[in-house]
Chain A
Amino acid sequence: MQKKNDRRKFLKQTLAGAASFSPLIAMLTSLKKLNAGDRGDGYKAIVCILLEGGADVCNMIAPLEDKAYRKYKEVRKHIALPQESLLKITDTYGFRNNMTAMQNLFSEKKLAVIANVGTLIEPVTPTEVYNGSKPIPFELFAHNTQRNQWMLGDATGNSNNGWAGRTIDHFYASAEKAAVYSKINVADVSSLILSGGREEAIHFSDAYISSDTMKSYGFGPESGGSDLGKVYQALYETKRDSSHKMMAAFAKKRVKELNRPYALEGLFDGVREFESFDTGVHEVGKPLGTQLELVAKILSVKDRFPGTPKRQIFFVNHHGWDTHDSDNEHQAGYLSDSLEAFQHALETLGIADSVTTFTVSDFGRSLSPNGAGTDHGWGSHAFVMGGAVKGGKIYGTMPKVEVNSPDAWYDRLVPTTSMESYLSTVVKWFGASTEELNTIFPNLKSFPVKDMGYMG
Chain B
Amino acid sequence: MGQKIFESLFVAIVSIFVLSGCGGGDKSSSINNSTHSVRHPVKSDIEASAFLSRATFGANKEIIEHLTDLGDYDQWFDEQFTIPVSSHISWAHSHAKGINGIPDLNRSREDWKRYSDALGYLQRDTWWDIAVNAKDQLRQKVAFALSEILVISRNGPLQTFPDTRISYYDVLVRNAFGNFEQLLRDVTYHPAMGRYLSYLGNAKADPAVGSHPDENYAREVMQLFTIGLYELNMDGTQKTKNGQPIPTYTQSDIRQMAKVFTGLSDDNGQFEAEAYFDTFHARTAPMAAFESHHDHTEKKILHAKKIIPAGGDTKTDIDRALHILFMHPNTPPFISRQLIQRLVTSNPSAEYVQRVAEIFADNGDGIRGDLKAVIKAILLDKEAFTGKESVSNFGKFREPLLYISHLFRAFHAQNGEHVLKQGDTPLYKYRSFNFNGTGMMRQEGALEALTVFNYFSPDDAPSSLKKQKLAAPELELYGKQGIDDVLMGIITQNGFVYQLFNITAKLQLDEEKKLVHAKKYDALLDRLDMLLTAGNLSTTTRNAIKDYMQKHSYLDDEKLVRHTIGLVMTSPDYALQQ
Residues of A participating in the B interface, judged by any CB pair closer than 8 Å: 1, 17, 52-53, 74-75, 77-78, 138-145, 160-161, 165, 188-190, 195-196, 200, 203, 205-210, 212-214, 216-217, 219-220, 227-228, 231-232, 234-236, 238-239, 244-247, 249-254, 257-258, 282, 284-286, 319-320, 322, 324-325, 366, 368-373, 375-376, 410-412
Task: With CB as the reference atom, state the residue of chain A lying closest to B214.
Answer: A370
B572–A190 contact, CB under 8 A?
Answer: no
Q: Which of A213, A244, A324 contacts B214 (CB 8 A)?
A: A324
Contacts of A252 in B (CB 8 A): 464
Contacts of B481 in A (CB 8 A): 210, 220, 254, 257-258
Chain B 457-483, CB within 8 Å of chain A: the 1/0 string? Answer: 100111111111010100110111110
Chain B, interface size category, equals 35 or more
Task: With CB as the reference atom, state the residue of chain B lying closest to A286.
Answer: B442
Rounded to whole angstroms, the CA-CA distance of A125 and B133 in the bound complex is: 60
Other than the given A139-B247, A208-B441, 9 more pairs (CB < 8 A) read: A141-B254, A209-B496, A217-B496, A231-B544, A231-B548, A235-B571, A244-B392, A246-B397, A319-B451
Chain B 389-410, CB within 8 Å of chain A: the 1/0 string? Answer: 0001101010000000000000
Q: Which of A145, A200, A254, A366 contacts B212 (CB 8 A)?
A: A366
B545 CB, min distance to chain A CBs, angstroms: 7
Contacts of A1 in B (CB 8 A): 117, 423
Contacts of B223 in A (CB 8 A): 142
Contacts of A322 in B (CB 8 A): 216, 451
Q: Which of B219, B393, B545, B576 contacts A231 (CB 8 A)?
A: B545
B480–A144 contact, CB under 8 A?
Answer: no
Contacts of A376 in B (CB 8 A): 215, 219
B211–A285 contact, CB under 8 A?
Answer: no
Contacts of B575 in A (CB 8 A): 250
B251 at the interface (CB under 8 A from A): yes
Rounded to whole angstroms, the CA-CA distance of A254 and B482 in the bound complex is: 9
CB neighbors of A among B188-227 (8 A): 197-198, 201-203, 209-216, 219, 223
Rounded to whole angstroms, the CA-CA distance of A209 and B494 in the bound complex is: 12
A249–B464 contact, CB under 8 A?
Answer: yes
B551 at the interface (CB under 8 A from A): yes
Q: Which of B209, B397, B465, B563 contacts A228 (CB 8 A)?
A: B563
Q: A246-B346, A247-B576 are in contact. Are A195 and B463 (CB under 8 A)?
A: yes
Contacts of A196 in B (CB 8 A): 463
B551 CB, min distance to chain A CBs, angstroms: 7
Partner-binding segment picked from B61-69, B139-147, B485-493, B507-515? B485-493
Sampled A-B contacts (11; CB under 8 Å)? A138-B245, A140-B251, A210-B480, A228-B488, A234-B544, A245-B465, A246-B393, A249-B464, A372-B201, A372-B273, A376-B215
A325–B210 contact, CB under 8 A?
Answer: no
A246–B450 contact, CB under 8 A?
Answer: no
B159 at the interface (CB under 8 A from A): yes
Q: Which of A160, A216, A285, A325 contacts B198 (CB 8 A)?
A: A325
Rounded to whole angstroms, the CA-CA distance of A206 and B442 in the bound complex is: 9
Q: Which of B203, B485, B572 contacts A254 (CB 8 A)?
A: B572
B518 at the interface (CB under 8 A from A): no
A249–B548 contact, CB under 8 A?
Answer: no
Contacts of B545 in A (CB 8 A): 231
B479–A205 contact, CB under 8 A?
Answer: yes
A261 CB, min distance to chain B CBs, angstroms: 9
Contacts of A366 in B (CB 8 A): 212, 215
Rounded to whole angstroms, the CA-CA distance of A252 and B472 in the bound complex is: 14
Rounded to whole angstroms, the CA-CA distance of A210 and B273 in the bound complex is: 44
Contacts of A205 in B (CB 8 A): 479
Indicate the member of A78, A209, A236 with the most B CB atoms within 10 Å.
A209
A409 CB, min distance to chain B CBs, angstroms: 9
Contacts of A232 in B (CB 8 A): 484, 567, 570-571
Rounded to whole angstroms, the CA-CA distance of A231 and B571 in the bound complex is: 10
Task: With CB as the reference atom, state the residue of chain A lying closest to B229.
Answer: A139
Indicate the member of A77, A252, A324 with the most B CB atoms within 10 Å.
A324
B548–A77 contact, CB under 8 A?
Answer: no
Task: With CB as the reference atom, state the residue of chain A lying closest to B492.
Answer: A217
Contacts of B465 in A (CB 8 A): 245-246, 249
Rounded to whole angstroms, the CA-CA distance of A246 and B388 in the bound complex is: 13
A213–B497 contact, CB under 8 A?
Answer: yes
Rounded to whole angstroms, the CA-CA distance of A451 and B197 in the bound complex is: 39
B155–A75 contact, CB under 8 A?
Answer: no
B572–A78 contact, CB under 8 A?
Answer: no
Rounded to whole angstroms, the CA-CA distance of A78 and B206 in the bound complex is: 12
Task: With CB as the reference atom, state the residue of chain A lying closest to B347.
Answer: A246
Contacts of A207 in B (CB 8 A): 479-480
Rounded to whole angstroms, the CA-CA distance of A244 and B575 in the bound complex is: 13
Rounded to whole angstroms, the CA-CA distance of A279 and B197 in the bound complex is: 25
B216–A324 contact, CB under 8 A?
Answer: yes
Rounded to whole angstroms, the CA-CA distance of A282 and B484 in the bound complex is: 29
Task: With CB as the reference atom, state the residue of chain A lying closest to B552.
Answer: A227
B247 CB, min distance to chain A CBs, angstroms: 7
A168 CB, min distance to chain B CBs, angstroms: 13
Q: Which of B443, B451, B572, B576 contacts A206 (CB 8 A)?
A: B443
Chain B 240-277, CB within 8 Å of chain A: the 1/0 string? Answer: 00000101000100110010000000000000010000
A250–B572 contact, CB under 8 A?
Answer: yes
Contacts of A373 in B (CB 8 A): 198, 214
Task: With CB as the reference atom, state the residue of chain B lying closest to A232.
Answer: B570
Rounded to whole angstroms, the CA-CA distance of A373 and B214 in the bound complex is: 8
Q: A160-B467, A245-B393 are in contact. Are A411 and B476 (CB under 8 A)?
A: no
B496–A206 contact, CB under 8 A?
Answer: no
B426 at the interface (CB under 8 A from A): no
Chain B 539-560, CB within 8 Å of chain A: the 1/0 string? Answer: 0110011011001100000000
State the 4 A-B residue pairs at the shortest beta-carbon distance, nearest first: A206-B479, A325-B198, A324-B198, A370-B214
B470–A245 contact, CB under 8 A?
Answer: yes
B210–A74 contact, CB under 8 A?
Answer: yes
Q: Which of A231, A320, A370 contacts B211 (CB 8 A)?
A: A370
A144–B457 contact, CB under 8 A?
Answer: yes
B215–A370 contact, CB under 8 A?
Answer: yes
A169 CB, min distance to chain B CBs, angstroms: 12
B364 at the interface (CB under 8 A from A): no
A141–B497 contact, CB under 8 A?
Answer: no
